Copies of this chain bind each other. A is one copy, B any other.
């Protein structure tokens, strides 16, 4: 978004990828919260990092999410 337009492709540099992940994940969850409140809808967001960590946001108890960690992506 700054020094040069961001191209949407995998960030190869591990450090940059990690930093971007942290920042954009926060942004995504914030947008999800805002949409849920503004429009009075139920939302669930799951993010499963390559290091195996799970991050989530949800404003409802009506949603059940299961991961198949042995799956094929």
Contact-residue bracket for chain A: 35 or more
Evaluate whether A47 and B41 lie within 8 angstroms (CB atoms) in the complex, with A61-B73, A69-B62 already known: yes
Interface of A is mostly: mixed
- Interface flags for A43-73 (1: CB within 8 Å of B; 0: not) read 1111111100000000011111111110111
Q: Does A5 contact B (CB under 8 A)?
A: no
Nearest-CB distance from A12 to chain B (Å)? 10
Copies in the complex: 2
Q: Is A40 touching B32 in the complex (CB atoms < 8 A)?
A: no
Q: Is A45 touching B48 in the complex (CB atoms < 8 A)?
A: no
Question: Bound complex: CA of A41 vs CA of B43, how far in Å?
Answer: 19
Q: Is A42 touching B35 in the complex (CB atoms < 8 A)?
A: no
